[in-house]
Copies of this chain bind each other. A is one copy, B any other.
Amino acid sequence: MSFKVIPLDEALNLFEKEFEKVSFEFVNLENANKRVIAEDFYAPFDFPPFSKSTVDGYAVKASDTFGASESNPLYFKIKGKIKIGEYPSYFISSSEVIEIPTGGVLPSGADAAIMIEHTNKIDEDTVEILKSVAPYENIVRIGEDFEKGKLIFEKGYRLKAQDLGVFSAFGIIRIKVYKKPDVSIISTGDEIIHPKEELNLGKVRDMNTYILKALVEDSFANPVILGITKDNLGEILEKLKKALEISNIIIISGGSSVGTRDLTLKAISLLEDSKILFHGLNIKPGKPTIFAKVKGKAVIGLPGHPTSATLVFLELVRPLIRFISGEKNWRKRIKLKTTVLENIHSAVGMKHFIRVKLKGNCAKPIYGKSALIFPMIEADGYFEINEQKEGVLKGEEVEIVLFE
């Protein structure tokens, strides 16, 4: 069967046209880390909801302190003391101050705080002020963090640790997020056996299931292990049908031979409401990749070699998971700039992925047939050489995607 080979960018452009995002659910605040928010979040009220001191000292009206210095102290009446966590019943007038702790609510009439280090308590009722403060000095004003109505998180944003603090601050304990996609993983090939089976020569223990499960976890989706299928059309069809019932994305990592690949392609084609989007990616390694839409779900046939399967996962499946998870910036990725230590050859007309090990600020290519595993173990990440380029030169700057 001939390949319908397309460039990787074109493959990524299919997502928005062909697939829908998962639906939403509500999770408790403490379980929202790394989840994708499913609605815009606006500040429901001014935060902080009251002005407060950021120092231990005295709440003052700033203008009263103007001119105060070590050599010219000013004297104030201590009107009272504010406790942490309490709303003050006090207000202050000119030449009055109130003792205040860090985080204490600023009393009416005050617009600044002065650190205890810049004061001298003379007696229970009197304090000497040794430094002037400006209005709003050493305080946080109402709404200084977030004004009511401000857009804080956009729909499609993946939440980080510190973001959870914002929801807590506003008293939000249930958060509307996109569901995690379920991703089924199938291994195929007559030579593939479960790792616990005895290794008769000629067989190969299943590596892809374990690698792909971990990669799905790293992508914040739910992996579903469906096990190993022999090179048998009926068996493959049955597994695929089961997978379609229980998952949003199906990954079937084919045997490495043309025969197995054709069988996978045939099985996918035979499924009801199936549309092969492409079979062949213009990348190396990873060319024999199948991508189909079946009943609205994504079915991806990955190459059998673990190295190729991993790279296609990172370049195609992970972006797809992120897109289907509702992530707005699903294409965005952090890359590390570095320079290569050797000339590296690549053929024009195909996108090449070169595995590298980082040596200080430089990257050393790790070569090896895609049938080997060790280069993926030894490498820290990889970079791409695009279709237009014929290799890179020693000292050239490249952008590394790091393995997690």
Contacts and interface: CB of A to CB of B under 8 A. Distances in A.
Contacts of A50: 201-202
Given A87-B200, A103-B204, A256-B102, A211 B165 contact: yes
A30 B215 CA distance: 11
Nearest to A218: B161
A327 to B, nearest CB: 15
Contact of A255 (B48, B84, B140, B189): B84
B218 A168 contact: no
A195 B172 contact: yes
Given A56-B257, A101-B259, A160 B191 contact: no
A56 B260 CA distance: 11
A259 B87 CA distance: 18
A218 B33 CA distance: 9
Contacts of A24: none
Interface string A323-342: 00000000000101100000
Interface in A227-284: 231, 255-260
Contacts of A196: 171, 173
Contacts of A310: 161-162
B257 A376 contact: no
Nearest to A56: B258
A190 interface: yes
B162 A373 contact: yes
A165 B305 CA distance: 11
Interface stretch (A1-9, A67-75, A144-152, A294-302): A144-152
Contact of A103 (B172, B191, B372): B191
Contact of A29 (B169, B171, B195, B307): B195
| Contact size range, A | 35 or more
Most buried by B among A34, A168, A374: A168
A156 interface: no
Given A84-B231, A160-B403, A377-B162, A195 B211 contact: no
Contact of A202 (B87, B166, B167, B231): B87
Contacts of A102: 255-258, 304
A213 interface: yes
Interface in A194-217: 195-197, 199-215, 217
B214 A145 contact: no
B214 A33 contact: yes
Contacts of A146: 373-374
Interface string A51-94: 01010100000000000000000000000000111111000000
Contacts of A362: none
Contacts of A336: 334, 336-337
Interface string A311-353: 0000000000000000000000010110000000000000000
A163 B379 CA distance: 11
A145 to B, nearest CB: 5
A338 B47 CA distance: 33
Given A84-B260, A172-B195, 4 more contacts: A101-B259, A140-B371, A169-B195, A173-B195
15 contacts: A84-B191, A103-B255, A145-B372, A161-B211, A161-B403, A161-B404, A164-B214, A166-B207, A168-B195, A168-B205, A169-B195, A169-B205, A169-B373, A171-B195, A337-B337
